[in-house]
Amino acid sequence: MIAIVGFLVWSAASNAIENLRAQKIASGFGFWHNAAGFDVNQKLIPFSASGGSTYGDAFLVGLLNTLLVSALGIVFATILGFLVGVARLSNNWVIAKLAMIYVEGIRNIPLLLQLFIWYNAVLKPLPNPRESIALPAGALLNNRGLYLPDPQLGPGGGLILWAFLIGLAATFVFRAWARRQQEATGRQYPVGLVAFCLIAALPALVYVATGRPVSFVYPELAGFNLRGGIQIFPEFVALLIGLSTYTAAFIAEVVRAGILAVSKGQSEAAHALGLRNGPTLKLVVIPQAMRVIIPPLTSNYLNLTKNSSLAVVIGYPDLVQVFTGTVLNQTGQAVEVVAITMAVYLTISLVTSLIMNIYNKRMALVER
C-alpha cells in the first residue's frame, strides 16, 4: 500500500520535472521578487504596475482582499442567518413562511449563478456616474460602485477614536463585572444601556466637546467620473452580498436545528417562571442551542471563506483571481502557484477551526 502510494508520488514528481523541462518553465520560487506587470483595482496595500510591485506584493493584495471579504461576509451571514433561523420558528405565519421561502430558494440555487445575478443583473445595469442614484448622507450609487463620504479628521479628531476604543474596552469590563455580580448576588445591571452610553454616546460627547472636528469629503462629479469619497467596487459589493445571503441560508438551518434540539420542556419551564418570549430565547434556549450550533457553524464559516474564491468569475481581485489567475498566467509556474494557494486556504481552515474549537470548548456543557 505504502509502496504503491510512494511509487505514484515518485512517478508524478519525475513526470512533472520532465514535462516542465520540456516546456522550458522555470521551477522554484524565484518569481516571487520579479516585478508584476499588472494593476489591481481594489488594494489594501500600495500596489501598482509602475511602482515596482512584485508578485509577492500581488499575493499579499489578493490574500488581504480574500480575508476582508471573508471576515465581513462571516459577520453579515451570521447576523442574517440567526435572524432568519429564528424567524423560521416564529409563531407569526407570514414571517415563518417568508423565511422558509428565503432558505429554500437560496440554498437550492448555485452560488455562482447568484453571483452572476448580483453582479451582472443587479449592479451592472445601474446608471452611469453622471446619473448616480443619490443615497442618504451624501452617498452615491452607480455602475462603478458605491461612493461613500470620506471622513477627514481635523485637530482633536483623534480623541473621538480614542473615546470609542475606551468606550469599547470599558463595555467589556463592565459586562464581565455585571455578570460576576449577577452570579454572586443575583442583581441584574442594565448592560445594554451602559454599553450604548459608552460606545455611542461617549464618542458623540467628545465630538461635540472638541468642536466637531470631523469633516466629510463628498464624492463629486468631475468629467465622466466621480472624484473624492470612498469608492467601494461593485465586484466587492456583489461578492459580499452573494456570499452573505448564501451562507446565511445555511446558517439559518443550523440555527433552527439547534433551537429545535433544545427540549420543549426548557422553554415551557421558562414560560412557567413568567419569562416572556424574548428573554426565554435569550436566556434559556439560545445558550443551550449554541452547543449544537457551533460545530456546523464553524464549517459554514470555512465554506464561506472557501467560496470567496468564486470571486474569480466576477473579477474581484481575491487570492485566486490575482494569484492563481493573473500571476499563474504570467509566470506559468503552475505547481508553485497552486501549491501556495492551497497552502493558504489550508492554513485559514486550520486556524478558523482551531479558534472555533477553543470557543466550542468554552461553551460546551460541563458534565460531572
User: Which cell numbers hold the place of 241?
Assistant: 452580498
Alpha helical stretches, state H, the chain: 2-22, 55-88, 93-107, 111-116, 157-185, 191-196, 202-209, 234-261, 264-272, 277-279, 286-307, 311-314, 319, 328-331, 334-363
CB–CB of 145/233 below 8 Å?
A: yes
Minimum distance between the CB of residue 190 and another protein, rounded to whole angstroms?
12
Q: Which x/- pattern over 276-305 shows residues binding another protein (rule: CB under 8 A)?
A: x--x----------------------x---
Position 107, amino acid = R
Q: Which of 310, 314, 322, 327 binds another protein (CB under 8 A)?
A: 310
Piece in contact with another protein (CB under 8 A), picked from 108-116, 189-197, 203-211, 254-262: 108-116
Minimum distance between the CB of residue 301 and another protein, rounded to whole angstroms?
13
Touching another protein, residues 20-39 (CB under 8 A):
20, 22
How far apart are the C-alpha atoms of 255 and 81, rounded to whole Å? 8
- Taking the least distance from each CB to another protein, the nearer of 163 and 249 is 249
For residue 146, the cross-strand partners are: 141, 232
How far apart are the C-alpha atoms of 308 and 318, rounded to whole Å? 8
Q: Which of 68, 191, 313, 356 binds another protein (CB under 8 A)?
A: 313
CB–CB of 113/314 below 8 Å?
A: no
**Taking CB under 8 A as the rule, does residue 341 contact another protein?**
yes
Touching another protein, residues 343-362 (CB under 8 A):
345-346, 349-350
Minimum distance between the CB of residue 163 and another protein, rounded to whole angstroms?
33
Position 243, amino acid = L
- Taking the least distance from each CB to another protein, the nearer of 50 and 131 is 131
**Cα–Cα nearest to 66, from 294, 298, 323, 247:** 323
Q: Which of 26, 113, 165, 176 binds another protein (CB under 8 A)?
A: 113
**Cα–Cα nearest to 195, from 208, 179, 184:** 179
How far apart are the C-alpha atoms of 54 and 331, rounded to whole Å? 12
- Taking the least distance from each CB to another protein, the nearer of 20 and 168 is 20
- Taking the least distance from each CB to another protein, the nearer of 218 and 345 is 345
Touching another protein, residues 184-243 (CB under 8 A):
186-188
Minimum distance between the CB of residue 110 and another protein, rounded to whole angstroms?
4
- Contacts with another protein: how many residues (CB under 8 A)? 56
**Taking CB under 8 A as the rule, does residue 266 contact another protein?**
no
Q: Which of 74, 320, 322, 327 binds another protein (CB under 8 A)?
A: 320
**In the 8-state DSSP scheme, what is residue 40?**
-
Output the CA torsion 195→199→205→206 (10° steps).
140
**Taking CB under 8 A as the rule, does residue 312 contact another protein?**
yes
**Cα–Cα nearest to 114, from 243, 236, 233, 253:** 243
**Taking CB under 8 A as the rule, does residue 67 contact another protein?**
no
The residues of the shown chain that bind another protein, judged by CB under 8 A, are 1-2, 5, 12, 15-16, 18-20, 22, 91-95, 98, 104-105, 107-113, 116-117, 120-121, 186-188, 273-276, 279, 302, 306-307, 309-310, 312-313, 320, 324, 328, 334-335, 338, 341-342, 345-346, 349-350
